[in-house]
Amino acid sequence: MAGYKKKRARELQHDRFRDTTMSMLDRVGDRLEGKGRHILYGLGGVLVLLVLIYFGVRWQRGHTQEAERAMGRGIKIATADVASTPPPGVGGDLTFTTEQERAQKAIDEFRKVEAKYGEPYKSQAKLFIATNLLVVDRPKGLTDLSALGGSSNPEVAALAKFALAQAKVADNSLDEAAALYSELAKQNAAVVTADTANLHLARVYQKQGKKKEAADLLFNMIEAGRKAKDADGKPVPEGPAVREAAEDLQKIDPARYAQLTPAARPMGLSL
């Protein structure tokens, strides 16, 4: 029993990191909506790929420390601030006045990783390159993300499809985005779970005017999450994706929201 609880604790920590990262991506998208697709997916892709680094790079040791440092430099560049007036104390090589300048510098760094190191760094670098290409050469970035969706590395494949789906939403290619999210929901990958994919699929349905389909998807997702039990028969805590789904459903169909199974009360709380 103690072993199971430790394992479950690790799984929940894993889920919190993944869902928090996806939530960060959503918030960036909301703030930048209408301010330029290139900016959105230059930043958004970087946030998505932080998941990949968490599961891949940080756990490697030995000889891979050199590759980690190379990847780390690329990530540092890709996540650097962009400002017309750089803040005091920021190094010249990490000072960028445009999204395009930063993206190109990041691409250059990740190409070095791609050329020098083996897996998983090679595939990870390709994914970073493709995402940043959305800023400087969008058609090429879209093509490369599509190709990476067939990667033998399941994490790279899932994240590439997720980033591509978001780009398709930004381009208003909603049918293509829906197909990608549906595929990701069926795959239920560790880095892009079925709940995360279905949440975004429901939002695509809303953009398409398919209110009933969106409400049905959200309702079923929330119900499954609220009724889920662990091996001891205790409710499994809701993840951020399920909570966001509940917020969305309440907005688009309050009557359907009222039919939901009440959320489990957190342990330790009483009336």
* pLDDT tens-digit map of 240-251: 889 999 999 999
Confidence of residue 81 (pLDDT cuts 50, 70, 90): confident
pLDDT > 70: percent of the chain: 71
Q: Is residue 202 part of a domain?
A: yes
Asked if residue 21 and residue 121 are part of one domain, the reply reads yes
- Asked if 160 contacts 151 with a C-beta cutoff of 8 angstroms, the reply is yes
**Same domain for 35 and 117:** yes
Which pLDDT belongs to residue 90?
55
Residue among 116, 22, 8 nearest 63 (CA): 116
209 and 125 together in one domain: no
Residue 267 has a pLDDT of 54
Beta bridge partners of 235: 229
Please indicate, yes or no, whether residues 186 and 119 belong to a single structural domain of this protein. no
* 208 and 257, same domain (yes or no): yes
Confidence (pLDDT) at 111: 97
Q: Which domain holds residue 201?
A: 172-266
Q: Which residue type occupies 223?
A: E
Indicate whether 123 and 189 sit together in one domain: no
**pLDDT at position 266 over 70:** no
Asked whether residue 71 falls in the same domain as residue 200, the answer is no
Q: Which two tokens stand for residue 202?
A: 């429901």
Q: Phi and psi of 165, rounded to 5°?
A: -60, -40
Domain membership flag for residue 157: no
Asked if residue 165 belongs to a domain, the reply is no
The structural domain count of the chain equals: 2
Do residues 43 and 97 both lie within one domain? yes
On the CB side of 90, how many CA atoms lie within 13 Å of its CA?
A: 16
Q: What is the mean pLDDT of the chain?
A: 78
- Residue 155 included in any domain: no
Band of pLDDT at residue 89, cut at 50, 70 and 90: low
**Phi, psi dihedrals of residue 127, rounded to the nearest 5°:** -70, -45
Q: Looking at the structure, tell me whether residues 71 and 17 fall in a common domain.
A: yes
Q: Is residue 17 one of the residues assigned to a domain?
A: yes
pLDDT exceeds cutoff 90 at 221: yes
Mean pLDDT along residues 103-108: 94
Pair 23, 112 in one domain = yes
Residue 29 resides in a domain: yes
Do 14 and 145 reside in the same domain of the chain?
yes
Segment 9-62, tens digit of pLDDT: 444 344 444 444 444 444 434 443 333 344 444 444 444 455 445 444 444 444
- For the purposes of burial, counting CB atoms within 10 Å of the CB of 25, is it exposed (0-12), middle (13-18) or buried (19 or more)? buried
Average of per-residue pLDDT across 56-76: 69
Quick one: pLDDT at residue 265? 66
**94 and 220 inside one domain:** no
Q: For residue range 115-174, what is the model confidence (pLDDT) as tens digits? A: 999 988 899 899 989 989 998 999 999 999 999 999 999 988 998 999 899 899 989 999
Does a structural domain hold residue 119?
A: yes
pTM reported for the whole predicted model: 0.77
Let me know if residue 166 belongs to a domain.
no
